[in-house]
Amino acid sequence: MSINKIYNLAKNQLFPICRSITGNGVKKTLSIIKSYIPELKIRNFSSGTKVYDWKIPNEWNVKDAYVVDKSNRKIIDFKKNNLHLMGYSRPVSMMVTKKELFNHLYSLPKQKNAVPYVTSYYKKNWGFCVSEKQKIFFKKKYKNGDKFFINIDSKFKINGKLTYGELIIPGASKKEILLSTYICHPSMVNNELSGPMVSMALIKYFQKKKIKKTIRFIFIPETIGSISYIKKNFLKLKKNTFSGLNLTCLGDNRNYSYIQTKYKNTISDFAIIRAFKKLNINYKIYL
89, 53 Cβ separation under 8 angstroms = no
DSSP 85: B
User: Does residue 265 lie in a domain region?
Assistant: no
Does residue 132 have a cis bond before it (omega within 30 degrees)? no
User: Does residue 267 lie in a domain region?
Assistant: no
User: Does residue 277 lie in a domain region?
Assistant: no
62, 53 Cβ separation under 8 angstroms = no
Alpha-carbon dihedral 281, 241, 287, 182, rounded to 10 degrees: 80
User: Does residue 81 lie in a domain region?
Assistant: yes
d(CA 102, CA 138): 9
Q: What is the pLDDT of residues 149-158, one digit of tens each?
A: 999 999 999 9
150 and 171 together in one domain: no
Cα dihedral sign, 72-77-79-85 = negative
Query: What's the pLDDT score for residue 286?
Result: 83
Query: How many structural domains comprise the chain?
Result: 2
Q: Would you write out the chain's pLDDT as a tens digit for each of its 287 residues?
A: 788 999 999 999 999 999 999 999 999 999 999 999 999 999 999 999 999 999 999 999 999 999 999 999 999 999 999 999 999 999 999 999 999 999 999 999 999 999 999 999 999 999 999 999 999 999 999 999 999 999 999 999 999 999 999 999 999 999 999 999 999 999 999 999 999 999 999 999 999 999 999 999 999 999 999 999 999 999 999 999 999 999 999 998 888 899 999 999 999 999 999 999 999 998 888 87
Query: What's the pLDDT score for residue 2?
Result: 84
Query: What's the pLDDT score for residue 1?
Result: 74
75 and 100 together in one domain: yes
Query: What's the pLDDT score for residue 287?
Result: 72
* Full-model pTM: 0.95
121 and 202 together in one domain: no
Domain CATH number, residue 121:
3.50.30.90
Q: What is the pLDDT of residues 139-173, one digit of tens each?
A: 999 999 999 999 999 999 999 999 999 999 999 99
User: Does residue 210 lie in a domain region?
Assistant: yes
Query: What's the pLDDT score for residue 227?
Result: 98
Query: What's the pLDDT score for residue 249?
Result: 94
d(CA 142, CA 67): 13
